[in-house]
Structures are given as structure tokens and as C-alpha cells.
Amino acid sequence: MKILIVEDELKVAAFIKKGLEENSYEAEIAYDGLTAEKLFQQNKYDLIILDIILPGTGGIQLCRKIKDRSPGLPVLMLTALGTTDDKLAGFDAGANDYLVKPFEFRELLARVKVLIRTAEQHLEAGNKLVAGDLELDLDKKSARRGDTYVDLTAKEFSLLEYFMRNPGRVLSRNDIAEKVWDVSFDFGTNVVDVYVNFLRKKIDKGFDRKLIHTKVGFGYIFGEL
């Protein structure tokens, strides 16, 4: 695990680096925004600890740049300014968490751990759509409900993907026909019903919590209602 510390106060930077290394993280320091940008472009980090007030590119601006390039890379902001406005500015720039100086190292460490773990979980989730215990793997084109793997045809897969991308929304038969079958009108909409029933048998049948619901007169709603 490699962490970049962007902090112009030498003592604070050294204190964080030492603590992280004692906890078996690799850590590098950038004392100003420009160096941070350069390091960030050259190396792969698992987390960035970013002071807000820096010489050169400021922390807020830097955070935006980092998040533009690597949206999944967690950023922990540090600052002596603890007002709500400062925090909001940080979050607005994409920071994942915020720590006000002075802080105890163990608090920083706890947050670092949470941020890295969360980022890893997202990575593991990868290219998947999840609703409760139903998981659709967009790379493998496979579906799983709980421990049960579900075999889907290509059309059923597209239909389920459309449902899972639009949870809690009433989808009319026409919406579905248009998005899944790519036909715009008067497509015997009972084809939609037939496929929805196929899908129900595969992902809902035998499970207490149904995911596909009929909204009489409108269409269907997907999700845990």
C-alpha cells in the first residue's frame, strides 16, 4: 500500500510518514502542489493525504485534478481550518474524508484504513450491478442471486441490466421494448411480459423478497420495495 502525503509543514509530514511506515505502509512526501502533481502522474498510489493550504497548487485544486484522473483514488484532506465551509469545499472537490489539525496519529490511521478498505471493495465490485443479494456481472455476463448462479439468455440479461440500472422507477412496457429490444412502438408488448416472466422465474421464484414487481396499468418496478 503506497500513500502520498502532500503537506508543506515538514514536521507534520515527517510525523505522518513515520507513523504510516511503522504500520507497514509505504509513504512519500510532496511538500508542494507541483511536486505532488508530478509524483501523482509518475506513480500509483492507494491513497492521498492532502493538506489544503499549500504553496503552488492548493489542496482543493489538486484534489479536483486527482479526482478527474483517478475518481476511485481515495483522498483524505487535512487542514487547520475546521469550519463547515472548508469541509464542504473539500468534499465538493471530491475529498473522501476530512481531518482537522491537530489530530492524533491513531485517528488518521483509522481513517486511512477505512478509506483504503472501501476503495478495495469498490474495486472488487468492479463491473457489477448489485441489488440486495442479486448480482449481475457485466464482464462475465453472469447473474447470481444469493448462492445460486442463474443462467440467462442474452435478452434476459439485457432486460435484467435495464431493470438494475433503473431501480425503483416505473418502467412501461414501451420503455422496456425501446431500451431492450430497440424497437420504438407497437411492438407486441406481450413479448415484454413473456420475458419479464422468464426473468421472474429465474431470479425471483423461490425467494422471499421479490425484485420484479408489476405496477398494474403502468408496467414494472424493479427493486426491494
Q: Kindly list the residues in this chain that would bind Ca ion in the complex (CB under 5 A).
A: 8, 51, 53
8 vs 178, beta carbon nearer Ca ion: 8
Return all residues near 224 (Cβ < 8 A) that are at least 6 apart.
131, 132, 209, 211
Query: Shortest distance, CB of residue 109 to Ca ion, whole angstroms?
Result: 20
51 vs 156, beta carbon nearer Ca ion: 51
Query: Shortest distance, CB of residue 52 to Ca ion, whole angstroms?
Result: 7
Contact indicator for 74, 66 with CB cutoff of 8 Å: no
Helix runs in 80-184, H state only = 84-92, 105-125, 154-165, 173-176
H-helix or E-strand spanning residue 220: strand 219-222
Contact indicator for 6, 50 with CB cutoff of 8 Å: yes
37 vs 51, beta carbon nearer Ca ion: 51
Query: Shortest distance, CB of residue 81 to Ca ion, whole angstroms?
Result: 10
Helix (H), strand (E), coil (C) string for 6-30: ECCCHHHHHHHHHHHHHCCCEEEEE
Distance CA 29, CA 32 (A): 9
Contact indicator for 47, 74 with CB cutoff of 8 Å: yes
Query: Shortest distance, CB of residue 79 to Ca ion, whole angstroms?
Result: 8
95: cell is: 475529498
51 vs 161, beta carbon nearer Ca ion: 51
Query: Shortest distance, CB of residue 36 to Ca ion, whole angstroms?
Result: 12
10 vs 225, beta carbon nearer Ca ion: 10
